[in-house]
Chain A
Protein backbone atom coordinates (compact mmCIF):
# COMPACT_ATOMS: atom_id res chain seq x y z
CA UNK A 1 0.00 0.00 0.00
CA UNK A 2 2.93 2.29 0.66
CA UNK A 3 3.95 1.62 -2.89
CA UNK A 4 0.49 2.69 -4.11
CA UNK A 5 0.74 5.95 -2.19
CA UNK A 6 4.08 6.49 -3.85
CA UNK A 7 2.42 5.91 -7.23
CA UNK A 8 -0.34 8.37 -6.47
CA UNK A 9 2.18 10.96 -5.37
CA UNK A 10 3.71 10.75 -8.80
CA UNK A 11 1.98 13.44 -10.84
CA UNK A 12 2.72 11.69 -14.13
CA UNK A 13 0.99 8.51 -13.01
CA UNK A 14 -1.99 10.47 -11.74
CA UNK A 15 -2.29 12.22 -15.08
CA UNK A 16 -2.05 8.89 -16.89
CA UNK A 17 -4.88 7.40 -14.83
CA UNK A 18 -7.16 10.44 -15.22
CA UNK A 19 -6.42 10.59 -18.96
CA UNK A 20 -7.49 7.00 -19.34
CA UNK A 21 -10.65 7.58 -17.31
CA UNK A 22 -11.50 10.67 -19.34
CA UNK A 23 -12.27 8.60 -22.45
CA UNK A 24 -15.11 6.79 -20.69
CA UNK A 25 -18.57 7.74 -21.88
CA UNK A 26 -20.57 9.88 -19.48
CA UNK A 27 -23.22 7.16 -18.99
CA UNK A 28 -20.70 4.58 -17.81
CA UNK A 29 -20.57 3.69 -14.14
CA UNK A 30 -17.84 1.63 -12.48
CA UNK A 31 -18.86 -0.45 -9.49
CA UNK A 32 -15.96 -0.99 -7.10
CA UNK A 33 -16.63 -3.57 -4.45
CA UNK A 34 -18.64 -2.34 -1.54
CA UNK A 35 -17.48 1.23 -2.12
CA UNK A 36 -20.28 1.95 -4.57
CA UNK A 37 -20.73 2.90 -8.22
CA UNK A 38 -18.94 5.90 -9.66
CA UNK A 39 -19.22 7.97 -12.81
CA UNK A 40 -16.27 8.99 -14.94
CA UNK A 41 -16.14 12.47 -13.43
CA UNK A 42 -16.43 11.18 -9.86
CA UNK A 43 -13.54 8.79 -10.43
CA UNK A 44 -11.36 11.48 -11.97
CA UNK A 45 -11.99 13.65 -8.90
CA UNK A 46 -11.18 10.74 -6.58
CA UNK A 47 -7.90 10.03 -8.38
CA UNK A 48 -6.96 13.70 -8.27
CA UNK A 49 -7.76 13.81 -4.53
CA UNK A 50 -5.84 10.57 -3.93
CA UNK A 51 -8.48 9.06 -1.66
CA UNK A 52 -9.13 5.35 -1.12
CA UNK A 53 -11.15 4.93 -4.32
CA UNK A 54 -8.61 6.93 -6.29
CA UNK A 55 -5.85 4.74 -4.91
CA UNK A 56 -7.71 1.60 -5.91
CA UNK A 57 -8.26 2.83 -9.47
CA UNK A 58 -4.56 3.73 -9.72
CA UNK A 59 -3.57 0.35 -8.27
CA UNK A 60 -5.65 -1.48 -10.88
CA UNK A 61 -4.25 0.68 -13.68
CA UNK A 62 -0.65 0.08 -12.64
CA UNK A 63 -1.20 -3.66 -12.17
CA UNK A 64 -2.72 -3.78 -15.66
CA UNK A 65 0.22 -1.94 -17.19
CA UNK A 66 2.71 -4.13 -15.35
CA UNK A 67 0.98 -7.23 -16.72
CA UNK A 68 1.88 -6.13 -20.25
CA UNK A 69 5.48 -5.68 -19.26
CA UNK A 70 5.53 -9.21 -17.81
CA UNK A 71 4.00 -10.62 -21.00
CA UNK A 72 6.70 -9.10 -23.22
Chain B
Protein backbone atom coordinates (compact mmCIF):
# COMPACT_ATOMS: atom_id res chain seq x y z
CA UNK B 1 0.00 0.00 0.00
CA UNK B 2 1.29 3.43 -0.94
CA UNK B 3 1.16 6.48 1.31
CA UNK B 4 2.02 9.90 -0.14
CA UNK B 5 3.06 12.88 1.96
CA UNK B 6 3.99 16.42 0.94
CA UNK B 7 6.44 18.35 3.10
CA UNK B 8 7.17 21.90 1.94
CA UNK B 9 9.84 23.48 4.13
CA UNK B 10 10.12 27.20 3.48
CA UNK B 11 8.82 29.10 6.53
CA UNK B 12 8.35 28.41 10.27
CA UNK B 13 4.92 26.80 9.91
CA UNK B 14 5.89 24.47 7.07
CA UNK B 15 9.20 23.64 8.78
CA UNK B 16 7.38 22.55 11.95
CA UNK B 17 4.83 20.48 10.02
CA UNK B 18 7.53 18.94 7.86
CA UNK B 19 9.80 17.95 10.73
CA UNK B 20 7.01 16.65 12.96
CA UNK B 21 5.57 14.62 10.06
CA UNK B 22 8.56 12.32 10.36
CA UNK B 23 6.61 10.68 13.21
CA UNK B 24 3.88 9.73 10.73
CA UNK B 25 6.42 8.47 8.19
CA UNK B 26 8.01 6.25 10.84
CA UNK B 27 4.63 4.70 11.68
CA UNK B 28 3.94 4.16 7.97
CA UNK B 29 7.27 2.37 7.52
CA UNK B 30 6.62 0.23 10.59
CA UNK B 31 3.21 -0.73 9.24
CA UNK B 32 4.70 -1.79 5.92
CA UNK B 33 3.55 1.08 3.74
CA UNK B 34 5.61 2.33 0.83
CA UNK B 35 6.12 6.02 1.61
CA UNK B 36 6.17 8.54 -1.23
CA UNK B 37 7.79 11.51 0.49
CA UNK B 38 7.69 14.70 -1.62
CA UNK B 39 9.85 17.28 0.14
CA UNK B 40 11.07 20.86 -0.06
CA UNK B 41 11.18 22.40 -3.54
CA UNK B 42 9.90 19.14 -5.06
CA UNK B 43 6.43 19.92 -3.67
CA UNK B 44 4.90 21.15 -6.93
CA UNK B 45 1.70 20.48 -8.80
CA UNK B 46 3.59 18.63 -11.53
CA UNK B 47 5.41 16.35 -9.09
CA UNK B 48 2.25 15.59 -7.10
CA UNK B 49 0.28 14.81 -10.25
CA UNK B 50 2.99 12.58 -11.62
CA UNK B 51 3.43 10.60 -8.39
CA UNK B 52 -0.30 10.11 -7.86
CA UNK B 53 -0.89 8.92 -11.41
CA UNK B 54 2.12 6.62 -11.39
CA UNK B 55 1.89 5.16 -7.88
CA UNK B 56 -1.83 5.47 -7.06
CA UNK B 57 -1.53 6.06 -3.28
CA UNK B 58 -4.66 5.32 -1.27
CA UNK B 59 -3.76 7.82 1.48
CA UNK B 60 -2.39 11.35 1.09
CA UNK B 61 -1.18 13.67 3.86
CA UNK B 62 -0.82 17.16 2.41
CA UNK B 63 1.10 19.63 4.57
CA UNK B 64 1.20 23.23 3.41
CA UNK B 65 -0.45 26.58 3.52
CA UNK B 66 -3.94 26.68 2.17
CA UNK B 67 -7.07 28.59 1.40
CA UNK B 68 -10.72 27.59 1.12
CA UNK B 69 -10.15 26.35 -2.43
CA UNK B 70 -6.55 25.21 -2.56
CA UNK B 71 -3.51 23.70 -0.88
CA UNK B 72 -0.03 25.05 -1.48
CA UNK B 73 3.34 23.43 -1.86
CA UNK B 74 6.83 24.90 -2.06
CA UNK B 75 6.71 28.69 -1.72
CA UNK B 76 2.91 28.41 -1.36
CA UNK B 77 2.41 27.64 -5.05
CA UNK B 78 -0.86 25.77 -5.51
CA UNK B 79 -0.59 22.00 -5.88
CA UNK B 80 -4.27 21.06 -5.65
CA UNK B 81 -7.28 23.25 -6.28
CA UNK B 82 -11.07 23.04 -6.30
CA UNK B 83 -12.32 23.47 -9.84
CA UNK B 84 -8.88 22.51 -11.12
CA UNK B 85 -7.21 19.22 -10.36
CA UNK B 86 -9.22 18.14 -7.30
CA UNK B 87 -10.17 14.93 -9.09
CA UNK B 88 -6.73 13.66 -8.15
CA UNK B 89 -8.18 13.14 -4.67
CA UNK B 90 -11.05 10.91 -5.83
CA UNK B 91 -11.10 7.36 -4.43
CA UNK B 92 -8.49 8.32 -1.86
CA UNK B 93 -8.33 9.43 1.77
CA UNK B 94 -6.72 12.83 2.20
CA UNK B 95 -5.60 14.51 5.38
CA UNK B 96 -4.87 18.18 4.66
CA UNK B 97 -2.87 19.94 7.36
CA UNK B 98 -3.68 23.15 5.64
CA UNK B 99 -5.81 26.11 6.63
CA UNK B 100 -9.39 26.40 5.46
CA UNK B 101 -9.19 23.72 2.75
CA UNK B 102 -12.00 21.88 4.51
CA UNK B 103 -14.31 24.71 3.56
CA UNK B 104 -14.51 24.39 -0.23
CA UNK B 105 -11.84 22.00 -1.56
CA UNK B 106 -12.88 19.23 0.86
CA UNK B 107 -16.59 19.27 -0.03
CA UNK B 108 -15.79 19.63 -3.73
CA UNK B 109 -13.50 16.61 -3.92
CA UNK B 110 -15.78 14.34 -1.87
CA UNK B 111 -19.20 15.32 -3.20
CA UNK B 112 -20.98 12.20 -4.49
CA UNK B 113 -17.65 10.42 -4.97
CA UNK B 114 -17.57 6.96 -3.41
CA UNK B 115 -14.80 5.66 -1.18
CA UNK B 116 -13.33 9.15 -0.84
CA UNK B 117 -12.72 11.00 2.41
CA UNK B 118 -11.18 14.34 3.22
CA UNK B 119 -10.08 15.35 6.70
CA UNK B 120 -8.92 18.92 7.13
CA UNK B 121 -9.68 22.27 8.74
CA UNK B 122 -12.42 24.69 7.71
CA UNK B 123 -10.65 27.67 9.28
CA UNK B 124 -7.09 28.63 10.18
CA UNK B 125 -4.90 25.96 11.79
CA UNK B 126 -3.21 27.75 14.67
CA UNK B 127 -0.28 26.59 16.79
CA UNK B 128 2.14 27.95 19.33
CA UNK B 129 5.89 27.51 19.14
CA UNK B 130 8.96 28.77 20.93
CA UNK B 131 11.29 30.88 18.81
CA UNK B 132 14.27 29.46 20.69
CA UNK B 133 13.48 26.09 19.10
CA UNK B 134 12.89 27.18 15.52
CA UNK B 135 15.94 25.20 14.38
CA UNK B 136 14.99 22.21 16.56
CA UNK B 137 11.20 21.83 16.23
CA UNK B 138 11.09 18.36 17.77
CA UNK B 139 12.41 19.79 21.05
CA UNK B 140 9.71 22.46 21.17
CA UNK B 141 7.37 21.51 24.01
CA UNK B 142 5.00 24.34 23.16
CA UNK B 143 4.38 22.97 19.67
CA UNK B 144 4.28 19.33 20.72
CA UNK B 145 0.56 19.01 21.69
CA UNK B 146 -0.50 20.68 18.43
CA UNK B 147 1.70 18.52 16.23
CA UNK B 148 0.88 15.28 18.05
CA UNK B 149 -2.87 15.82 17.92
CA UNK B 150 -2.68 16.68 14.23
CA UNK B 151 -0.47 13.69 13.43
CA UNK B 152 -2.94 11.45 15.23
CA UNK B 153 -5.32 11.68 12.26
CA UNK B 154 -2.72 10.14 9.96
CA UNK B 155 -1.40 7.64 12.49
CA UNK B 156 -4.92 6.40 13.24
CA UNK B 157 -5.64 5.98 9.53
CA UNK B 158 -2.38 4.10 9.04
CA UNK B 159 -3.35 1.80 11.92
CA UNK B 160 -6.61 0.86 10.20
CA UNK B 161 -9.18 3.18 11.72
CA UNK B 162 -11.89 4.68 9.54
CA UNK B 163 -11.80 8.33 8.48
CA UNK B 164 -14.47 9.26 11.04
CA UNK B 165 -12.72 7.37 13.83
CA UNK B 166 -9.35 8.87 12.96
CA UNK B 167 -10.70 12.40 13.01
CA UNK B 168 -12.46 11.75 16.31
CA UNK B 169 -9.31 10.29 17.88
CA UNK B 170 -7.40 13.39 16.84
CA UNK B 171 -10.12 15.67 18.22
CA UNK B 172 -10.06 13.73 21.47
CA UNK B 173 -6.32 14.34 21.70
CA UNK B 174 -6.74 18.07 21.00
CA UNK B 175 -9.39 18.20 23.74
CA UNK B 176 -7.39 16.22 26.28
CA UNK B 177 -4.31 18.39 25.73
CA UNK B 178 -6.40 21.55 25.95
CA UNK B 179 -7.98 20.47 29.24
CA UNK B 180 -4.61 19.47 30.67
CA UNK B 181 -3.17 22.89 29.85
CA UNK B 182 -6.21 24.64 31.30
CA UNK B 183 -5.42 23.15 34.68
CA UNK B 184 -1.74 24.07 34.50
CA UNK B 185 -0.65 26.95 36.70
CA UNK B 186 3.07 26.80 36.00
CA UNK B 187 3.17 27.91 32.38
CA UNK B 188 2.01 31.45 31.56
CA UNK B 189 1.33 30.37 27.96
CA UNK B 190 -0.87 27.41 28.90
CA UNK B 191 -4.20 29.25 28.70
CA UNK B 192 -3.42 30.56 25.22
CA UNK B 193 -2.25 27.13 24.08
CA UNK B 194 -5.42 25.52 25.47
CA UNK B 195 -7.50 27.98 23.49
CA UNK B 196 -5.76 27.32 20.18
CA UNK B 197 -5.89 23.54 20.67
CA UNK B 198 -9.64 23.88 21.23
CA UNK B 199 -9.90 26.06 18.10
CA UNK B 200 -8.20 23.41 15.92
CA UNK B 201 -10.43 20.70 17.39
CA UNK B 202 -13.55 22.71 16.62
CA UNK B 203 -12.50 23.34 13.03
CA UNK B 204 -11.28 19.89 12.04
CA UNK B 205 -13.77 18.35 9.61
CA UNK B 206 -14.19 14.86 8.19
CA UNK B 207 -15.98 14.93 4.85
CA UNK B 208 -17.15 12.30 2.39
CA UNK B 209 -17.13 8.61 3.21
CA UNK B 210 -16.53 8.43 6.94
CA UNK B 211 -16.25 4.66 6.81
CA UNK B 212 -13.36 4.78 4.36
CA UNK B 213 -10.20 3.03 5.48
CA UNK B 214 -6.67 3.06 4.11
Q: Are A34 and B67 in contact (CB under 8 A)?
A: yes
Since A20-B191, A23-B188 are in contact, a sample of 9 more A-B pairs with Cβ atoms closer than 8 Å, ordered by chain A residue number, is: A23-B189, A29-B131, A30-B196, A31-B12, A32-B126, A33-B66, A34-B65, A34-B99, A56-B124
Chain A residues near B196: list those with CB within 8 A: 30, 60
Q: Which residues of B3-39 are within 8 A (CB) of A?
A: 11-13, 16
Smallest distance from the beta carbon of A24 to chain B beta carbons, Å? 6
Within 8 Å by CB of B131, from A20, A27, A63, A67, lies A27
Query: Could you give 13 example pairs across A and B, Cβ below 8 Å?
Result: A23-B188, A23-B191, A27-B131, A27-B132, A28-B192, A29-B128, A29-B131, A30-B192, A31-B12, A31-B128, A34-B72, A35-B124, A61-B195
| A36 vs B14: C-alpha distance when bound (angstroms) | 10
Chain A residues near B67: list those with CB within 8 A: 34
Chain A residues near B13: list those with CB within 8 A: 31, 34, 36-37
Listed in ascending order, the chain B residues whose CB lies under 8 Å from chain A are 11-13, 16, 65-67, 72, 76, 99-100, 124-132, 142, 188-189, 191-192, 195-196, 198-199, 202
Chain A residues near B129: list those with CB within 8 A: 28-29, 31, 37
Within 8 Å by CB of A27, from B66, B130, B202, lies B130
